């Protein structure tokens, strides 16, 4: 099988490329290298590597020619600096996806399409009030956050809500620019699938970590930000009270999920998560255990309005339709991540 991996030189994409090459697939990589300092040395031999941005229609058309499947990983990720990043996110994620899909349409592509999505499409996770049941959760107010009241509150009685795992049929509720572009990526991809008669799988990644993760930037994940602080001898700054619940899933598991999705005919979205939730504070402490003589994480009470409190997925559908279950346990993965090579 000849597979195009967009963003195949990046964090997650490069691990997918490794797996595809190892099993004998022909791999085409289209990557702008916008966040790389030249071609990375970890790409395996035999990859048809093309430097190009998804805004370059000629580059995209050349990359899709003759491929049997597409694994779309290229994206601008993270919360960014501030709302001034909105145009860059829309250009890279919305328009980039549109250009890819247009190129596939123009060559009457009928192969497999797997796209990278994110748990951020859910906004706040799923909550339950003991007295009033499940319901929509409005954004947390700045007044509550300033007062250190971080738990979402029931809109009926005002009491703190209990979090639950989020299934794929939960509604979209994007609460930052990146999240909005990931919702649009899914919408465009499934619209293409319906029009072209192609099954599309959107993988909603939870908090991915592991080797080749980018270092401390506004576009990096929290695990990389904490790791960079420890390396510099600084105490990581844990926002809110550190009790935000997340699912930290290792990049090896995420890459394996993509290969399983490429081999499946599932049409729909799947949560890609470890099924082993931990708080952000737990993650900071687990990562600290991999270093010697580093300062302890500092819980600051700071917050960002674009952040959500708890979002933890149910991994059951991915197991049922893709045969995917995460294999890397949290403690082992974090211990290895303390010394894993990162990207500049």
The 10s digit of each residue's pLDDT in 224-235 is 899 999 989 999
Share of the chain above pLDDT 70, in %: 97
Answer yes or no: is pLDDT of 217 > 80: no
* Residue range 62-80: mean pLDDT, rounded: 92
Q: What is the pLDDT of residue 93?
A: 95
User: Which has more pLDDT, 131 or 219?
Assistant: 131
Query: What rounded mean pLDDT belongs to the chain?
Result: 93
Answer yes or no: is pLDDT of 97 > 90: yes
Answer yes or no: is pLDDT of 35 > 90: no
Number of Cβ within a 10 Å radius of residue 317: 18
Contact 172, 122 (CB under 8 A): yes
* Residue range 279-288: mean pLDDT, rounded: 95
In angstroms, the CA 217 to CA 64 distance is 31
Q: What is the pLDDT of residue 200?
A: 98
Q: What is the pLDDT of residue 135?
A: 84
Which regions of the chain does DSSP assign to beta strands (E)?
Answer: 2-6, 26-31, 48-51, 69-72, 112-118, 126-129, 133-134, 162-164, 200-205, 207-209, 237-238, 245-246, 248-250, 268-272, 278-279, 298-299
- Taken in order 333, 223, 41, 273, is the CA torsion positive or negative? positive
Answer yes or no: is pLDDT of 218 > 70: no
Query: pTM of the predicted model, to two decimals?
Result: 0.93
Domains of the chain: residue spans and CATH: 2-126+164-338 (3.40.50.720)
């Amino acid at each position: 099988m000849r597979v195009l991996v967009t963003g195949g030189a990046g964090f997650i994409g490069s691990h997918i490329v490794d797996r595809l090459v190892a099993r004998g697939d022909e791999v085409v990589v289209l990557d702008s290298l916008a966040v790389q300092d030249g071609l990375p040395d970890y790409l395996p031999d035999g990859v048809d590597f093309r430097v190009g941005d998804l805004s370059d229609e000629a580059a995209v058309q050349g990359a899709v020619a003759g491929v049997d499947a597409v694994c779309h990983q290229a994206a601008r990720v993270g919360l960014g600096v501030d709302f001034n990043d909105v145009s860059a996110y829309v250009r890279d994620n919305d328009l980039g996806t549109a250009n890819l899909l247009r190129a596939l349409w123009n060559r009457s592509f009928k192969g497999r399409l797997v796209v990278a999505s994110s748990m951020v499409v859910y906004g706040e996770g799923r909550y339950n009030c003991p007295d009033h049941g499940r319901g929509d959760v409005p954004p947390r107010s700045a007044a509550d956050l300033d007062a250190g009241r971080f738990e979402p509150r029931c809109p009926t009685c005002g009491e703190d809500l209990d979090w639950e795992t989020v299934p794929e049929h939960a509604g979209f509720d994007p609460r930052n620019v990146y999240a909005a572009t990931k919702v649009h990526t899914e919408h465009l991809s499934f619209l293409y699938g319906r029009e072209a008669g192609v099954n599309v799988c959107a993988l909603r990644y939870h908090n991915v970590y592991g080797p080749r993760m980018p270092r401390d930037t506004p576009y990096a994940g929290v695990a990389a930000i904490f790791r960079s602080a420890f390396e510099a001898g600084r105490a990581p700054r844990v926002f809110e009270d550190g009790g935000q619940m997340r699912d930290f899933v290792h990049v090896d598991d995420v890459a394996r999920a993509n290969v399983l999705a490429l081999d499946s005919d599932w049409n729909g979205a799947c949560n890609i998560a470890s099924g082993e939730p931990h708080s952000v504070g737990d993650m900071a402490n687990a990562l600290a255990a991999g270093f010697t003589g580093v300062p302890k994480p500092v819980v600051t009470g700071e917050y960002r309005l674009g952040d959500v409190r708890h979002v933890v997925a149910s991994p059951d559908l991915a197991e049922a339709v893709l045969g995917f279950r995460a294999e890397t346990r949290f403690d082992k993965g974090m211990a290895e991540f303390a010394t894993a090579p990162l990207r500049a």
